[in-house]
Structure 1
Amino acid sequence: MTQPIQWTIPGFMNEHAHLDKGMLVPERSYKDDPVAIRAGWTREAKSSFTKQDIYSRAEQALQQLLSYGTAYVRTHVDVDPLVGLQGIEALLELREHYKNDIIIDITAFNQEGFDRYPDSAGLLTEALTMDSRIGIGGHTLSDQDGCSHINRIFELAEQANAPWVEFHTDESGKPEHFLLPYLAEQVKARGWSGKTYAIHCNSLANVSDELAEQAIALTAEAGLHVTVCPTAIATRAITRVKQLNQAGVRIGMGSDNMSDFFNPMGSGNMLQYAQLLAYIQRFYEPREMDMLLRIISQMPFNAESAVLVSQLAQDRYRFTTKDSRYLLTHLPLPS
């Protein structure tokens, strides 16, 4: 029998979260209505957010991440006329307060789209001037014309020389919303290789194998990163993680929403999310389980962020384990 060993790491890497909206539930009641209705509840809630409220809830979510051994989180923060820049201000303060415990990167996020709130463009531009480690995020389904939305986000990023760009990509899972190939083409044409993240990519799971293979090859060629959030399985199929990995695409993993109107649960435990993906897509072979652990413990791709993570204690979190299978089966807490 394999003897237990001490596996030591600086911590897990959570590459997609929404800390500004975290912990709305159970303080606010949740009902499992269609997503469009729950998005409306979110807009209503945001209109009453205060900077202190956002800080307090984001801190609760952050403390959960820390309790499970997280060393890095990249969080989207909504920026629009409803909430203004309060979320960015709160998360910048939170980042400073916890800088010796966890590295927080911030993405100014256009959740609501330009069609609904045209003034979001100016606010996003202002957000990008507030710190050198603030990227910009879009959503390929938030506007009527997804391609134009992608172009507009890239234009704002280029004007501000943003450090990275992220898109919630094809999140519905519907083939008619399949914009991953267009996004990859834009990444390559605009020179954003290595600095762009496609989150979810659910439609890739539902297009034909031929279209999927072409899109995966284009994604790899463009240097477009993909971030998978296994909790999305609640409403749509998860993207083709194994094929993306085999093609050489860098895969990250995120918690996504934590206790809000899009997910009333969400522990923040990266081992739990890795376990969920293992069940969904049968990451059952030893090398596949090792791959999942590499995904959730790899350094951030952004060089400045990686340096900051490397300055944290490298043996801060210890797990008593036998192998990857044991970790992903039993989800032990760090000591």
Structure 2
Amino acid sequence: MQDLVIRGVRPWGGESADIAVRDGRIAAIGADLPALPGEEIIDGRGCLVIPGLVDAHAHIDKTLWGTPWHPHQAGPSLMDKITNERQVLAGLGLSPEVQSARLLRRLIACGTTHVRTHVDVGPDVGLKHLHGVQAMRERYRDWMDIDMVAFPQTGVMIRPGTLDLLEQAVRDGAEVIGGLDPVGVDRDPKGQLDGIFAIAGRHGCEVDIHLHDRGDLGAVTMEMIAERTRSLGLAGKVAISHAFCLGGVEPARLESLIALLLENDIAIMTHAPSGTTPFPPIRLLHERGVRLFSGSDGIRDTWSPLNNGDMLERAFMLAYRSGFRDDAGIEIALRMATYGGAQVMGAQHYGLSVGSNADLVLVAAETAAEAVAYHPPRRLVLKRGRVVARDGQALLPANA
């Protein structure tokens, strides 16, 4: 770890300042900071500096990154996509450990310093994906902070034995237990939610549930999630990912759901889904105080070939789909890809204040909004004070 002083940068687009980094943390921020003997001096060239990007909803165990191009073949429905994924992955025989490591280089190059990844757990794959990503995480622990969500991609109640596997995944090191469309996939919302929340209650882990069900169907499920969050005292430890229903219910129902989210401190993740898919009203939720975060979702996988792991670009997509043109709106999207994700992950010492870990990204932009609008290659990425990427290239050794 090299102590250093970065000269002439603009923290979150503010006034130009120097940042001193010592022992992996921000030691000082100010004008004309003195460098101590032996400290490296980096010319920040007037760049914007933001805290490390946080991809708080990814599926890095299933990426096709680094493999030959695979044309998208899945049908339109959720179950079509799940079935296609299982067939393709079984045929390719890829290693979750190898694939997640391949993708890690890309994420580092893009300035991501924290990832919450959902890893598949189920009767067809057992705990192979969990253990593969776990091995990769240990290998690269100095390069990236990674949390794992035990994720039942093929369903819970319709796949006997899945609840037992999810609980074993938590015992084996998953920080979070996941769920998937208790109505749309399982047709048994009480069974799935009771099972998942029982595991969370026994182990004290967090919960992050995929909820694609739209309209009133999704709203009812959200109410059931809030009820269990309250009864088990899990406020602040539950997230709902996608939450399409928030973008497609009547105003009165939306207000009722927002009240439940606030009462139980439930966080909402959206990645700005493509097409005309409804998604949460970001500005309204932000103004009401609902915790918001974002992530890449799948990155070049069987679900879509388009996502590329760049969280600045993801913030752009959030702003674009939300119709944000003002700087304040665009910055909401960036905060979802930084502070919002860090908060959900429980990241310690995160941010741009003195004492924070020096997880920093330098971008050739004057303001945070400009960085989102143009999302240029990252000039410099630091992880706990160590330079891990430069000019859009990760500095991982070739044989790492």
Q: Hey, what's the Cα distance between the residues in 1 that align with 2:376 and 2:217? A: 41
Cα displacement (A) at 1:38? 2.3
| Correspondences of 1:17-56 after superposition (within 5 Å) | 17-23=58-64, 26-35=68-77, 36-47=79-90, 53-56=95-98
Q: Hey, what's the Cα distance between the residues in 2 that align with 1:153 and 1:271? A: 33
Q: 1:239 to 1:304 in 2, by over 3 A?
A: closer
For 1:274, give the aligned amino acid: A
Cα displacement (A) at 1:306? 2.5
Q: Hey, what's the Cα distance between the residues in 1 that align with 2:56 and 2:318? A: 15
Partner of 1:218: 260
Partner of 2:38: none
Cα displacement (A) at 1:26? 5.0
Partner of 1:249: 290
Cα displacement (A) at 1:56? 1.4
Query: Is residue 263 from structure 1 mapped to residue 304 from structure 2 by the alignment?
Result: yes
Q: 1:315 to 1:46 in 2, by over 3 A?
A: closer
Query: Is residue 91 from structure 1 mapped to residue 133 from structure 2 by the alignment?
Result: yes
Cα displacement (A) at 1:202? 0.4
Partner of 1:326: 370
187-196 vs 26-35, which moves further = 26-35
User: Structure 1 or 2: larger strand share?
Assistant: 2
When the two structures are superposed, what TM-score results if normalisation uses the length of structure 2?
0.76
Partner of 2:33: none
When the two structures are superposed, what TM-score results if normalisation uses the length of structure 1?
0.90
For 1:209, give the aligned amino acid: P
**Secondary structure, counterpart of 1:9 in structure 2:** strand
Which of 329, 344, 351 pairs up with 1:288? 329
Q: Hey, what's the Cα distance between the residues in 2 that align with 1:309 and 1:260? A: 31
The answer to whether the Cα contact below 8 Å between 2:121 and 2:127 also exists between their aligned partners in 1 is yes
Q: Hey, what's the Cα distance between the residues in 2 that align with 1:328 and 1:304? A: 24
Query: Is residue 79 from structure 1 mapped to residue 121 from structure 2 by the alignment?
Result: yes
Q: Hey, what's the Cα distance between the residues in 1 that align with 2:231 and 2:343? A: 20
The answer to whether the Cα contact below 8 Å between 1:103 and 1:308 also exists between their aligned partners in 2 is no
Query: Is residue 13 from structure 1 mapped to residue 57 from structure 2 by the alignment?
Result: no
Q: Hey, what's the Cα distance between the residues in 2 that align with 1:315 and 1:121? A: 36
Based on CA coordinates, which of the two structures has the bigger radius of gyration? 2
Q: 1:31 to 1:11 in 2, by over 3 A?
A: same
**Secondary structure, counterpart of 2:179 in structure 1:** strand
Q: 1:262 to 1:271 in 2, by over 3 A?
A: same
The answer to whether the Cα contact below 8 Å between 1:219 and 1:249 also exists between their aligned partners in 2 is yes
**Secondary structure, counterpart of 1:111 in structure 2:** coil
Cα displacement (A) at 1:288? 1.6
List runs of 5+ in structure 2 lacking aligned partners: 1-14, 17-44, 380-400
Cα displacement (A) at 1:181? 2.2
| Correspondences of 1:156-167 after superposition (within 5 Å) | 156-162=199-205, 164-167=206-209
Q: 1:177 to 1:289 in 2, by over 3 A?
A: closer
Query: Is residue 139 from structure 1 mapped to residue 180 from structure 2 by the alignment?
Result: yes
The answer to whether the Cα contact below 8 Å between 2:116 and 2:345 also exists between their aligned partners in 1 is no
| Correspondences of 1:163-312 after superposition (within 5 Å) | 164-169=206-211, 171-178=212-219, 179-230=221-272, 232-234=273-275, 236-298=277-339, 300-301=342-343, 305-307=347-349
Q: 1:315 to 1:119 in 2, by over 3 A?
A: closer
Q: 1:326 to 1:173 in 2, by over 3 A?
A: same
**Secondary structure, counterpart of 1:138 in structure 2:** strand
Identical pairs, percent: 26
Q: Hey, what's the Cα distance between the residues in 1 that align with 2:63 and 2:54? A: 18
Q: Hey, what's the Cα distance between the residues in 2 that align with 1:19 and 1:154? A: 25
**Secondary structure, counterpart of 2:86 in structure 1:** helix
Partner of 2:398: none
Q: Hey, what's the Cα distance between the residues in 1 that align with 2:345 and 2:123? A: 32
Partner of 2:9: none
The answer to whether the Cα contact below 8 Å between 2:269 and 2:293 also exists between their aligned partners in 1 is yes
**Secondary structure, counterpart of 1:56 in structure 2:** helix
Q: Which runs of 4+ in 1 moved over 6 A?
A: 308-312
294-303 vs 218-227, which moves further = 294-303
For 1:224, give the aligned amino acid: I
For 1:246, give the aligned amino acid: E
197-206 vs 17-26, which moves further = 17-26
The answer to whether the Cα contact below 8 Å between 1:46 and 1:83 also exists between their aligned partners in 2 is no
Cα displacement (A) at 1:147? 3.5
The answer to whether the Cα contact below 8 Å between 2:82 and 2:154 also exists between their aligned partners in 1 is no
65-74 vs 295-304, which moves further = 295-304
User: Structure 1 or 2: larger helix share?
Assistant: 1
Q: Hey, what's the Cα distance between the residues in 1 that align with 2:371 and 2:344? A: 27
Which of 345, 355, 358 pairs up with 1:314? 358
For 2:371, give the aligned amino acid: L
**Secondary structure, counterpart of 2:125 in structure 1:** coil
Question: What is the count of residue pairs matched by the alignment?
Answer: 329
- CA RMSD, aligned part only? 2.5
Q: Hey, what's the Cα distance between the residues in 2 that align with 1:100 and 1:107? A: 20
Cα displacement (A) at 1:303? 7.3
Cα displacement (A) at 1:137? 0.3
Q: Hey, what's the Cα distance between the residues in 1 that align with 2:158 and 2:88? A: 17
Deviations 1:127-172 (A, max 9, x none): 11112x521100123211223312211012212222x110012x14
Q: 1:130 to 1:308 in 2, by over 3 A?
A: farther
